[in-house]
């Protein structure tokens, strides 16, 4: 019986560092997500100025990290004015919150969760703890 009690205590304690609970908020919905720290995600949208698609990939670790930005050269210059390498800049970012707004809609994948905003709007994803 002591072994069972020990396992009931130790298994959640060992799994806790792998879990990444998060809250996602859109203009009309709030929900709780359970993510795992080795998962990845991406956000896809169309830049409303250049009318070109943008995809931002990232990893879920202690925070959202390892960002990479995929778009055409014109859109990259729109974001940076040609002053920096966008991927070199965003790859160093580490955030516990992601916020995006789009007038044309967007899709977000976080681990096995997928979200779509078809007519535009904003969404925010916040990790509940970062360690």
pLDDT score, position 54 = 94
**75-86, pLDDT tens digit by residue?**
888 888 878 788
Element (H, E) at 9: helix 2-15
Considering the chain, what is the average pLDDT of its residues? 86
Is 127 in contact with 63 (CB distance < 8 Å)? yes
Domain ranges of the chain: 19-127
pTM: 0.83
Lowest-confidence range among 6-10, 45-49, 102-106, 121-125? 6-10
């Amino acid at each position: 019986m002591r072994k069972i009690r020990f396992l009931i205590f130790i298994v959640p304690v060992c799994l806790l560092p792998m879990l990444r609970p998060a809250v996602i908020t859109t203009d009309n919905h709030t929900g709780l997500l359970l993510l795992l720290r080795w998962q990845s995600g991406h956000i896809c949208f169309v830049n409303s100025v250049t009318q070109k698609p943008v995809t931002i990939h990232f990893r879920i670790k202690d925070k959202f990290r390892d960002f990479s930005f995929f778009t055409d050269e014109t859109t990259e210059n729109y974001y940076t004015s040609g002053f920096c390498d966008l991927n070199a800049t965003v790859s160093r970012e580490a955030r516990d919150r992601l916020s995006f707004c789009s007038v044309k809609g967007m899709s977000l994948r976080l681990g096995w969760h997928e979200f779509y905003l078809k007519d535009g709007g904003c969404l925010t994803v916040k990790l509940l703890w970062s360690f």
